[in-house]
Every structure is written in structure tokens, then in C-alpha cells.
Copies of this chain bind each other. A is one copy, B any other.
Amino acid sequence: MKKHNFSAGPCVLPQEVFQKASEALINFNNMGLSIIEISHRDKNFIAVMDKAQALALELLGLNDKGYKALFLQGGASMQFLMAAYNLLENKAVYADTGSWSSKAIKEAKLFGEIEVIASSKDKNYNYIPKGYAVPSDADYFHCTSNNTIFGTQYKEFPETNIPLVCDMSSDIFSRQLDFSKFDLIYAGAQKNIGPAGTSLVVVKEDVLEKVSRTIPSMLDYKVHLDKDSMFNTPPVFAVYVSMLNLDWLQNLGGIQEIEKLNNQKADLLYTEIDRNPLFTGFATKEDRSVMNATFNLVDESHKEVFDKMWKEANINGLNGHRSVGGYRASMYNGLTLESVEVLVETMKKFENTI
């Protein structure tokens, strides 16, 4: 029986995406070949890559605005490094809103001076810092739009006149934003894009080629741009499934439509977290993530009972990250409202049991 999958990533994708991917593993495009045995130079795969890139730009509203979309390997963690390798000449400024921001900062330090201009570390990252100024003498400002582990999310981004770089790994394609404010957006695929094994990089071409260092080919955005993500063998299957998933989103009506559903799911769960006396939310209310809801038991001694109940309700992946404890319900694009309803019912049932 199909689980209600609240995993933080890799995570659930629409069932029809799994189905199509499964079929293409045996016979792709009626070629008599598996999707994973065809050459990446085959026109059937080039069409997949082109479509995935085009869908990404279209969905973000970045067509014809000087942006290119790339599907690369290495995960978002490779982008911590590549962003700095490609853009950092002297100094960059970062906001530290969680473990992923901290890791991005650590890697960037190898390439120049890093100034942390805002941090919520003082309260175990349960809020988004606000009201700080972004200096104009830095090469770029880096932030993390959604903090997967702590369940916080930027509702507004600081104004700045320097290039804006954003790790959107856990909320890209989930809500409407003016994406043209960003110069470099990156995201590991394994939440709202596709399977683990590729990352989407959306880059405004005019921020590139400004650093003086020589960049190794595989780490150079320009090299990948010039080869349309085909400088070397791309992760064919991960790109294919990403294309299927972005296509699913477009057919649904794009970000505008999924945003409504995402808000519905998050409202339902947060309402219950607040109402139910046995639970308490972790993140500051105004900064709550629509993607990852973090919450704890008011009384930890009930843990065993609740854990048993949600497992019996066919729920998967609800354990919180060790930095927060408690629970984390990740409600990415692929999660249905029904799954959230099942979770909320289980929380109510738990209340009645205790």
C-alpha cells in the first residue's frame, strides 16, 4: 500500500511521474531501448534536456530575460562551492539561517573574504533575521530561501544592488516570487524538481566571467552554458524525471496553481499544530515554511505512542532532524492534500488517546 510520504528529500513526486519513469526504464519513446541505455547525444535525449531547461525558465517566468538553466551533477552542496568559484573575487556577504547556509559559508571561505551580515544562530535558527542592510561593496549576497531542517522560510528578500545568489533547494517552484531579482538560483533536484542526482542552476549570464581565477572546466558555469549542460555525460535519468515532473507542474497550471495547494496543505497542518495542545511549532510563526513544518511534542514522554500511531496510519518520514528533534512534515509539490489530512487526523486521534 502506498505510503503518505513526508520525507524531507529525496521526497514524493506525483504518482504519474513514477509511472512514466518506470515505463521509460523498459522502453523509452518507443525506441526499443531503456532511457538509461541511450546515448546522451541521441536526439531523443537532447529533446528531453532542452525541454527540462525550457520548462524551468518558463515556470520561473525567466524566459528571454538573459537567464540560462543548467542541470548539473553534485547536488546543492556542489553549488556552495561553484557559486564562490565563479563569482567571488574579493568579498561576499552571506545570511546564516541554518545548517545549509553555514555549509555554504564554510565552502565559500576558501575563495575569498566572507562576511556574515545576518544570522539566526542565537535561537537555533528558528527565525529569519530581518532589517539588516546589505553592503554594496561585496561581489554578491547569498541566502537560503527555505531552511529545510529548521522549517523557516523568507517571505521577503532584502533589497540589494549587488548580485543576489539564492539556494532554493527546498522551495523552488513552490510559490510565486519575482525570480528576476535573483542572479543565481540553485537547487538540488530531490525536493520539487526530481530525483537526487542532479541540481538545477539558473544563472543570469551577465554575472559570469568577472573573476580573475582560472576555473576548472567541470566547475565553470560558462563551460556548462556553452555546452547546454552537455559538457560531459549528464545524469540522463535524473534529468528525464525532472522534465516529467516540471511538465506535470506546467500542466497543472504552473507555480500559481501549486502555490494555492501548498498554502492549503500548510494551513491545514499549522492550524492543527497550534490548536492541538499536545504539539508546539518550532519556527517563529511569521517565518514558518510552507514546505517543511517543524513541531515538537509538548510532553516528550508521549513520543512512543504518537510514533506508533503515525506509522500505523501509513505515514513515512515524519521524524525531525536531530538539530531540532520532534517532527518535520515536508509538504513538497508532490505531496497530496489527502496525505496532510491523514496526518492531521492522526494528530487529533492521538489527542483523544492521551
Judge if A352 is at the interface, Cβ distance under 8 Å: no
B25:A3 contact, CB within 8 angstroms: no
Interface string of A212-225 (1 = CB under 8 A from B): 00101111000000
Does B110 lie within 8 Å of A77, measured CB to CB?
A: no
Given the known interface contacts A37-B11, A74-B78, A217-B107, the answer about A237 and B197 at a Cβ–Cβ threshold of 8 Å is: yes
Which of A14-22, A138-146, A286-294 touches B?
Answer: A14-22
Cα–Cα distance between A13 and B241 once the two chains are bound (Å): 19
A74 CB to closest chain B CB, in angstroms?
5
CB distance from A173 to the nearest CB of B (A): 17
A26 — nearest CB in chain B belongs to which residue? Answer: B22
A298 in the interface (beta carbon within 8 A): no
Number of interface residues of A (CB under 8 A): 64
- Does A126 count as interface, using CB distance less than 8 angstroms? no
Task: Tell me, in angstroms, the Cα distance from A195 to B234 when the chains sit together.
Answer: 10
Q: Are B25 and A37 in contact (CB under 8 A)?
A: no
Task: List 15 A–B pairs whose Cβ atoms lie within 8 Å, in order of A's numbering.
Answer: A7-B38, A8-B39, A13-B34, A13-B37, A18-B25, A36-B194, A76-B232, A77-B218, A81-B216, A107-B216, A107-B217, A188-B233, A196-B234, A196-B235, A235-B235
Q: Which residues of A contact B (CB under 8 A)?
A: 1-3, 5, 7-13, 18-19, 21-23, 25-26, 31-34, 36-40, 73-78, 80-81, 103, 106-107, 110, 188, 190, 194-198, 214, 216-219, 231-238, 241, 314, 316-317, 334
